[in-house]
Structures are given as structure tokens and as C-alpha cells.
């Protein structure tokens, strides 16, 4: 990455001595290792050095993203890059194998509530259910008739339907799975149905069958069906902003549909997506306000007469419709010396309304963090395979708009790639260190604050039983921080968690943990408080006190993931008041060094149904926005 210094600032000066001291100790992937598995008494700092030789290949120039042509994104002002190399499936899961199928049927799973006396009430079960072999192009029918030995008719429900399958009610106590598998279904599938006791809905038997789909001898016997579109949502955009629509259709027969837009908007381009052959990208710039409906057609590659159509509705508003009164949040916050930010959605520049998203956010915030980009399943989906494009783009965006970048959720128990979940626990320390070293190391000049260890504390207090904890015990936290400090001496390193701003088992676990870490001089610089809360939140005194406790330890406070969901009977003025109070607590606390919301528009919030942010689905400001302005 480019070497810019604007992000380092305050800590850089403080830590210059530390930088110099640790430079010699800072090994790299090819550096020499010192033995690190000697037994440490619990109060002695752990010696941390990278595995040598490396456990997995480090990034090479072949992992570098390439420039993405402008037809694919909505961005202006910087060059977007994209990952190269063979495209990976959306979800990398372990596929069932022939050996799994041959191993025979899975045993039923019984759910017996504590209050059930099995000698009086027997559990419902399925009779005559077997694993199946189905042939692509031929209808499979499997009868489900659960039996209750005590009489009565058990209910039942399927866990997840197979693509285009039906679980049909026969209205005689039985149901039938009816499925026409096609070419793309060839392989081994599981189908689970749960039978429910007529007298006790929690008393259940769950049966999973496996279905192996094979090709028929004559492939031409398989019916050819029309391609299917992936659902399109209506969008609101701003006049004169570029709009990109990723038009995706799939063909269950496995062919690649041809996507057409019969009435192309003026000046539009329609090009094949470079990595996803079933996606075509439509880009155009609406030049007047109004509502546009774009018809899209997907034609079957083998039979041009077979096609599906769909319509995408776009509302174009004038720029004036997005104007906010008063001064921008970042300008107001700068006067109070508080960096204010938001978490950017992954690949926001590929959203239809990405230009509006990027534009409003850059006007309002001077910090950007990554909502899902730095998670290990994105960055390092396979050993030796790296996808840096999205975080590189986020950094370019930030640089263009003079924003800081904060890194989010580096070492976490979620969003882990399969290979890491399945890794040998004795290698996990090395994998973790390599990951930290490679990611922090790449962004030393670009990312100033890291939520390094995320959600280390369990829901009910105590340490969370993550794959990291299982492999290293609590030491993983120390190792992660020491590695991060060695790789990026100038970074502000945070322990990040939810439900620690309020009193309760998580806060009770946090302070002793911080004491243990600080007693060993573990380089923790601060605590990240997520703050995913609700509009009826009223524990502000607890937040104030917990912030003070962290400040008393000499640590920084960062509000890292603020959002305020509105429950069924809540309203947006209560929400505004919660935003205002949290901001006020941060402003009055000298150790509170940044405040970031988890997104900024309800449209792209992970809790969108609870409208938790300060802009609505159509980018209109809400009372929460005015409350933040007022408080600043
Ligand atoms: O906002 C994130 C959402 O898009 C993901 O689906 C989800 C699960 O991986 O993670 C969300 O973000 C989490 C964050 O990384 C850590 N704190 C809690 C957030 C919500 O789970």
C-alpha cells in the first residue's frame, strides 16, 4: 500500500521508541523464529514469534488485486480494484461424499423435554424412511408418515427444502417430498423432517435422509427449464450518479443464461461480469428525476424460446432531496476533537445506489471501518489464497475523502473459513499469528486502530469457547496483541465486545481480564464497546461508569459498532435520545477516542427491520441524525 502518514498521528510519536526497539524483534514470514512453546509461568510475558517455516503461504504478487474497469462500479474519485484468480464459491462448505452416502442412513435425533415421562408418552417416529437415489430429470417422491405409538397424529415440518422441491400435505396424516432434480442438483443432499408429538410440541424426532442424484443414461431425457432470476429490490438513487445493477440469473440445467435488456437506458453499458459468468452488469447515469422500470430478460442458452423476465424499479430523486440542514457531523465532531465514523458495507461501490451511499457517508464521517471485509473467510478463504480488493478499495475511498480507516473484528469466532475451523488445534496459534502479521502488516500505513480481538467473552461471562480459546486458552489474547504490536507498532489495539458497557456477567469478566493482561504488559491500548442497543435503553449511568473504569486503567475507549434498534412499540424520537446520550457520554469522557455507528442507512443495516441507524432506507435523515448534530 502507499505510504501515507496522515493516519498515524498521536500514537506514532508516543510509540516511536517502541517501534525502534521492536524492529529488530519483528520477524517476517522468512525471518528466524525463537522457540515459543516453552512453558511460561502465568505472569511472565509470552514470547511471540512467527512460525518458521510459515504454516501457509504468505501473499505473493499473484494475490494482488487488479484494476476494475469503470463499467462495473459506481465510484468516482479513485480507482477500484478487484480480486483475480479463480472464482471461489459463495460459501465454501464441505460437500458430502460418496463415502458418506455408502456409510448408510443417519440415526434419528430425539428431542425429549425434561418433563416427559417416556413410559407414559412414547416419542413419535418415522417408519420406512430410507436414503434415496434419484435421477436428474425424473420426479422423486418420498412419503412421510410419522407414527405416535400412543395414538394421535404427529405434526411434522421440513428443515430446509431442496431447490424447487415441495413438501406436500396429503391430508391424511402424511406428507410427501416431491422433487424434480436437474443437472445442477447432481451430488449428495440431505433432507431433514421433524415429527412432533401431538401432546407436547417440544417432544420430537428429527430424521435426515440422504438423496444421491445421478445423471440418467440419456442426458437428453432431462427437461429443459427456463432460467430463474435472483430477486431484485427497488432502489432509490440520485440524479446524475452512476447506477450499477448486477443482473443475475441461473439455469437449473447448468447452462449459462443470456441476459438481455431490451430497452437499454440512454448511454447504458451492459457487460459480462469478469468473475461470475451468470452475472451481467448494467451501468447507466440517470439524468432526470422520476421513476424508471427496467425490464430484464434471461434467455435459455440451449433453447432461445425459453426465457424469464423481471422488472427492476428505480426511483431517481434530485440532489436537493438528499440535502441535510445544518453542518455535517464530521465537521462538528472535528471541533470537539472526536473522530466520528461508520462501518461500510462490503463492496458498497457495487451496490446500485453505491454512489449515493459513498457520497453521503464521506460528507458525514471522517472514519470508516469495515463491516465484513476483514473477516478471515473473506481475506483468507483458503490456505495461501487472499482477497484484499475490498479492503484496498475501502482504503482508497478513505484516502480520497480524508477519512481514517479502523480495522474491525480481526480475531473472532465467527466468519472463519472452513479450513481454519478444521485446522489442527496445535497449528492454530501459528495460523492466527500469520493472519495478524499478514493483514496488519499490509496496512501499516493505512489502518490506525484495530478491533483486534473480538467477542472474547462468552454471553454469560467467562471466556468464550472459540476455536482460539480451545487451542490456546486465554493466552490467545496475549499472543494476538503481542503479534499485532510487533507487526504494527503504531496501531491502537483494542479488545472489542458487546454488552460490556452495562453491568452484568460480561463486564464482570472484562475487568479482571484487563487486569491480568495489563499486569503482564500485554499491549492492549483500549476497549471497543460495540453498543448494539435498543431505543428503550436507559442504563446510561452504567455506560458512564464502565467507561470511567476503562479510563482509570489508562486505556482508550472506542464506541465501535453503535446502532439503536427500534422494537415494536418504540419510536424514532426515543432512538434519537439514545444516540444523543451515548454521544454525550463519549464527549464528556476524555478517554473516549472515536464513535462509529454500524452502518448509517437502515437500508443496509444488519438489523434493517429495526431501523437502527440515523438515515432511513431512502437515505433521508432521521431524528437521530439531528440529535447527533445537536449534541456535537
Ligand atoms: O454486520 C455484520 C453482518 O453483516 C454479519 O452478517 C454478521 C455475522 O457475521 O456480523 C455482523 O457484524 C458483527 C460484527 O462483526 C461484530 N459485532 C457484532 C456484529 C453483529 O453480529
Calculate mean pLDDT across residues 119-141: 95
Helix (H, G, I), strand (E, B) or coil at 507: helix
Whether 496 is in the pocket of ligand 1, judged by its Cβ within 6 Å, is: no
b/e for 326-348, b at 16 or more Cβ within 10 A? Answer: eebbbebbeeeebbbbbbbbbbb
* Per-residue confidence (pLDDT) for residue 278, from 0 to 100: 87
Q: What is the pLDDT of residues 234-290, one digit of tens each?
A: 999 999 999 999 999 999 999 999 999 999 999 999 999 988 888 999 999 999 999
Best residue among 606, 607, 613 to mutate for probing ligand 1's pocket (most ligand atoms within 8 Å of CB) is 606
Helix and strand element counts for the chain (H, E): 14, 29
Q: What is the pLDDT of residues 348-399, one digit of tens each?
A: 999 999 999 999 999 999 999 999 999 999 999 999 999 999 999 999 999 9
Whether 377 is in the pocket of ligand 1, judged by its Cβ within 6 Å, is: no
Whether 497 is in the pocket of ligand 1, judged by its Cβ within 6 Å, is: no
Residues 500 and 540: their CA atoms lie apart, in Å, by: 13
Q: Is the pLDDT of residue 14 over 90?
A: no
Whether 376 is in the pocket of ligand 1, judged by its Cβ within 6 Å, is: no
- Does 3.40.50.10470 match the CATH number of domain 324-631? no
Q: Is the pLDDT of residue 4 over 70?
A: no
Ligand 1, atom 12, lies closest to the CA of: 371
Report the 10 Å Cβ neighbour count for 39.
5
State the distance from the centre of ligand 1 to the C-alpha of 491, rounded, in angstroms.
Answer: 23
Q: Do domains 98-221 and 224-320 have the same CATH topology?
A: yes
Q: Is the pLDDT of residue 81 over 70?
A: yes
* Per-residue confidence (pLDDT) for residue 457, from 0 to 100: 98
Q: Which CATH number fits domain 98-221: 2.150.10.10, 3.30.565.10, 2.60.40.10, 3.40.50.2000?
A: 2.60.40.10
**Full-model pTM:** 0.85
Task: Copy the grid coordinates of residue 130.
Answer: 430410507
Task: Copy the grid coordinates of residue 493.
Answer: 489495539
The mean predicted confidence, pLDDT, of the chain is 91
Active site residues: 455, 561
Whether 409 is in the pocket of ligand 1, judged by its Cβ within 6 Å, is: yes
Ligand 1, atom 9, lies closest to the CA of: 415
Ligand 1, atom 16, lies closest to the CA of: 409
Torsion of CA 452, 455, 456, 461, to 10 degrees: 150
Domain 224-320 fold: Immunoglobulin-like (2.60.40)
Residues 350 and 544: their CA atoms lie apart, in Å, by: 39
**What's the 3-state SS for 168-236?**
EECCCCCEEEEECCCHHHCEEEEEEEEEECCCCCCCEEEEEEEEEEECCCCHHHCCCCCCEECCCCCEE
Q: Which atom of ligand 1 is nearest to the CA of 346?
A: 4
Contact of 340 with 366, CB cutoff 8 Å: yes
Ligand 1, atom 6, lies closest to the CA of: 606
CA distances 185 to 173, 190, 214, 291, 432, Å, are 29, 12, 9, 39, 36
DSSP H or E stretch at residue 315: strand 307-317
Ligand 1, atom 20, lies closest to the CA of: 606
* Per-residue confidence (pLDDT) for residue 387, from 0 to 100: 95
Q: What is the pLDDT of residues 529-562, one digit of tens each?
A: 999 999 999 999 999 999 999 999 999 999 999 9
Calculate mean pLDDT across residues 521-536: 98
Q: Which atom of ligand 1 is nearest to the CA of 414?
A: 9
State the distance from the centre of ligand 1 to the C-alpha of 606, rounded, in angstroms.
Answer: 7
Whether 607 is in the pocket of ligand 1, judged by its Cβ within 6 Å, is: no
Residues 128 and 5: their CA atoms lie apart, in Å, by: 70
Whether 563 is in the pocket of ligand 1, judged by its Cβ within 6 Å, is: no
Whether 68 is in the pocket of ligand 1, judged by its Cβ within 6 Å, is: no
Ligand 1, atom 4, lies closest to the CA of: 606
Q: Which atom of ligand 1 is nearest to the CA of 454?
A: 16
Report the 10 Å Cβ neighbour count for 487.
23
Q: What is the pLDDT of residues 57-71, one digit of tens each?
A: 999 999 999 999 999
Crossing angle of helices 540-552 and 505-519, in 10° steps, is 10
* Per-residue confidence (pLDDT) for residue 293, from 0 to 100: 92
Cross-strand pairs, 401: none
State the distance from the centre of ligand 1 to the C-alpha of 371, rounded, in angstroms.
Answer: 7
Helix (H, G, I), strand (E, B) or coil at 426: helix
Best residue among 412, 414, 498, 605 to mutate for probing ligand 1's pocket (most ligand atoms within 8 Å of CB) is 414
The domain segmentation of the chain, as residue ranges, is: 98-221, 224-320, 324-631
Q: Which atom of ligand 1 is nearest to the CA of 605?
A: 1
Task: Copy the grid coordinates of residue 319.
Answer: 440532489
State the distance from the centre of ligand 1 to the C-alpha of 442, rounded, in angstroms.
Answer: 23
Whether 237 is in the pocket of ligand 1, judged by its Cβ within 6 Å, is: no
Calculate mean pLDDT across residues 463-473: 97
State the distance from the centre of ligand 1 to the C-alpha of 601, rounded, in angstroms.
Answer: 16
Whether 83 is in the pocket of ligand 1, judged by its Cβ within 6 Å, is: no
Amino acid at each position: 500500500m502507499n505510504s501515507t502518514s496522515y493516519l498515524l498521528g498521536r500514537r506514532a510519536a508516543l510509540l516511536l521508541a517502541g517501534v525502534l526497539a521492536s524492529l529488530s524483534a519483528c520477524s517476517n514470514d522468512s525471518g528466524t523464529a525463537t522457540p515459543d512453546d516453552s512453558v511460561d509461568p502465568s505472569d511472565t510475558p509470552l514470547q511471540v514469534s512467527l512460525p518458521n517455516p510459515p504454516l501457509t503461504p504468505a501473499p505473493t504478487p499473484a494475490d494482488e488485486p487488479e484494476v476494475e474497469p469503470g463499467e462495473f462500479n459506481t465510484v468516482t474519485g479513485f480507482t477500484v480494484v478487484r480480486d483475480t484468480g479463480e472464482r471461489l464459491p459463495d460459501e465454501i462448505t464441505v460437500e458430502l461424499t460418496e463415502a458418506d452416502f455408502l456409510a448408510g442412513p443417519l440415526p434419528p435425533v430425539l428431542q425429549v423435554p425434561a418433563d416427559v415421562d417416556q413410559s407414559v408418552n412414547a416419542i413419535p417416529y418415522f417408519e420406512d424412511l430410507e436414503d434415496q437415489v434419484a435421477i436428474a430429470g425424473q420426479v422423486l417422491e418420498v412419503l412421510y408418515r410419522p407414527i405416535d405409538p400412543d395414538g394421535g397424529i404427529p405434526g411434522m415440518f421440513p428443515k430446509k427444502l431442496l431447490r424447487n422441491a415441495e413438501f406436500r400435505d396429503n391430508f391424511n396424516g402424511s406428507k410427501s417430498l416431491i422433487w424434480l432434480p436437474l443437472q445442477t442438483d447432481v451430488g449428495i443432499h440431505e433432507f431433514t423432517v421433524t415429527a412432533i408429538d401431538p401432546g407436547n410440541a417440544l417432544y420430537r424426532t428429527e430424521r435426515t435422509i440422504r438423496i444421491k442424484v445421478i445423471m440418467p443414461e440419456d442426458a437428453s431425457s432431462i427437461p429443459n427449464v427456463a432460467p430463474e432470476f435472483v430477486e431484485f429490490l427497488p432502489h432509490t438513487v440520485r440524479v446524475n450518479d452512476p447506477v450499477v445493477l448486477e443482473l443475475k440469473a441461473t439455469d437449473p440445467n447448468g447452462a449459462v443464461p443470456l441476459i438481455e435488456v431490451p430497452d437499454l437506458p440512454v448511454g447504458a453499458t451492459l457487460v459480462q461480469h469478469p468473475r461470475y459468468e451468470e452475472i451481467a452488469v448494467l451501468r447507466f447515469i440517470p439524468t432526470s428525476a422520476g421513476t424508471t422500470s427496467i425490464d430484464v430478460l434471461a434467455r435459455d442458452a440451449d433453447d432461445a424460446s425459453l426465457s424469464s423476465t423481471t422488472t427492476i424499479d428505480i426511483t431517481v430523486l434530485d440532489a436537493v432531496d438528499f440535502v441535510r440542514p445544518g453542518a455535517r457531523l464530521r465537521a462538528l465532531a472535528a471541533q470537539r476533537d472526536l473522530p466520528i465514523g461508520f462501518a461500510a458495507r462490503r463492496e458498497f461501490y457495487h451496490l446500485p445506489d453505491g454512489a449515493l451511499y459513498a457520497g453521503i457517508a464521506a460528507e458525514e464521517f471522517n472514519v470508516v471501518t469495515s463491516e465484513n471485509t476483514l473477516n478471515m473467510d473473506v481475506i483468507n478463504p483458503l490456505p495461501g489464497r487472499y482477497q484484499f480488493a475490498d479492503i484496498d478499495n475501502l482504503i482508497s475511498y478513505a484516502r480520497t475523502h480524508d477519512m481514517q480507516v479502523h480495522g474491525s473484528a480481526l480475531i473472532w469466532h465467527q466468519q472463519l473459513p472452513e479450513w481454519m475451523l478444521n485446522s489442527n488445534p496445535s497449528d492454530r496459534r501459528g495460523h492466527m499469528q500469520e493472519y495478524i502479521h499478514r493483514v496488519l502488516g499490509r496496512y501499516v500505513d493505512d489502518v490506525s486502530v484495530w478491533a483486534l480481538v473480538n467477542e472474547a467473552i462468552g454471553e454469560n461471562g467467562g471466556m468464550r469457547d472459540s476455536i482460539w480459546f480451545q487451542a490456546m486458552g486465554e493466552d490467545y489474547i496475549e499472543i494476538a496483541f503481542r503479534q499485532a504490536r510487533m507487526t504494527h507498532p503504531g496501531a491502537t489495539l483494542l479488545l472489542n465486545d458487546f454488552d460490556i458497557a452495562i453491568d452484568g456477567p460480561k463486564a464482570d469478566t472484562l475487568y479482571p481480564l484487563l487486569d491480568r493482561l495489563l499486569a503482564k504488559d500485554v499491549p492492549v491500548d483500549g476497549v471497543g464497546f460495540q453498543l448494539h442497543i435498543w431505543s428503550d435503553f436507559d442504563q446510561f449511568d452504567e455506560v458512564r461508569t464502565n467507561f470511567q473504569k476503562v479510563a482509570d486503567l489508562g486505556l482508550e475507549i472506542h464506541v465501535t459498532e453503535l446502532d439503536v434498534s427500534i422494537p415494536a412499540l418504540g419510536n424514532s424520537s426515543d432512538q434519537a435520545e439514545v444516540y444523543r446520550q451515548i454521544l454525550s457520554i463519549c464527549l464528556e469522557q476524555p478517554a473516549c477516542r472515536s464513535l462509529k455507528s454500524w452502518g448509517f442507512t437502515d437500508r443496509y443495516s444488519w438489523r434493517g427491520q429495526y431501523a437502527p441507524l440515523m438515515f432511513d432506507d431512502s437515505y433521508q435523515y432521521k431524528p437521530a441524525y439531528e440529535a447527533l448534530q445537536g449534541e456535537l
